[in-house]
């Protein structure tokens, strides 16, 4: 999680990122178990393949904000959940060129540096599936 000990208020920097990746196989039970296991840990991002859906929308996870592909007419194959700690200081731009790829572009609200001196941070989540014998990603 961010280390704010030497930063002025409102200048949260990303020092240590923790990213978890998992394939839920569309299962609510897998999703609930995963978030139950990580609820007491400081996980920055949870990247999911084949997330469970309710009425074609992502399930909510306590203390996380979920992002998914916005391709109309296709099942959401990937999702990224962001720890709510980051939602106050950072902006998110969600780009999804295809249903199997989710690109989350993260920047600071005030335009400052995000991590390692960079003004933006990208997190890309993909889903690999076979169509007619070929992998899509």
Residue 12 inside a domain? The answer is no
Q: Which residue range is the domain that position 119 belongs to?
A: 19-135
Total number of domains in the chain: 1
Asked if residue 103 is part of any domain, the answer here is: yes
Instruction: Quickly list H helices, the chain.
Output: 28-38
Quickly list H helices, 25-132: 28-38
Token pair for residue 116?
């390692």
Query: Could you tell me the CATH number of the domain that includes residue 40?
Result: 3.60.10.10
**pLDDT tens-place string over residues 29-77:** 999 999 999 988 889 899 999 999 999 899 999 999 999 987 888 888 9
Q: What is the mean pLDDT of the chain?
A: 82
Rounded to an integer, the average pLDDT of 90-110 is 85
Residue 7 in domain: no
5 is a domain residue: no
- Residue 11 in any domain: the answer is no
Q: Is 2 a member of any domain?
A: no
- In a domain, residue 88? The reply is yes
Instruction: Name which residue leads in pLDDT, 101 or 17.
Output: 101
Q: Read off the pLDDT band of 98 (50, 70, 90).
A: confident
């Amino acid at each position: 999680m961010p280390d704010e000990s030497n930063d002025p208020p409102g200048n949260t920097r990303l020092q240590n990122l923790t990213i978890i990746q998992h394939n839920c196989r569309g299962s609510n039970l897998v999703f609930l178990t995963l978030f139950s296991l990580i609820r007491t840990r400081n996980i920055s991002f949870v990247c999911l393949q084949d997330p469970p859906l309710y009425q074609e929308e992502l399930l909510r996870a306590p203390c996380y904000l979920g992002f998914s592909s916005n391709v109309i007419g296709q099942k959401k194959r990937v999702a990224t959940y962001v720890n709510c700690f980051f939602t106050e200081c950072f902006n998110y731009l969600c780009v999804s060129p295809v249903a199997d790829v989710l690109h989350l572009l993260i920047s600071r609200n005030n335009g400052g540096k995000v991590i390692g001196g960079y003004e933006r941070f990208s997190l890309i989540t993909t889903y690999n599936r076979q169509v007619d014998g070929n992998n899509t990603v």
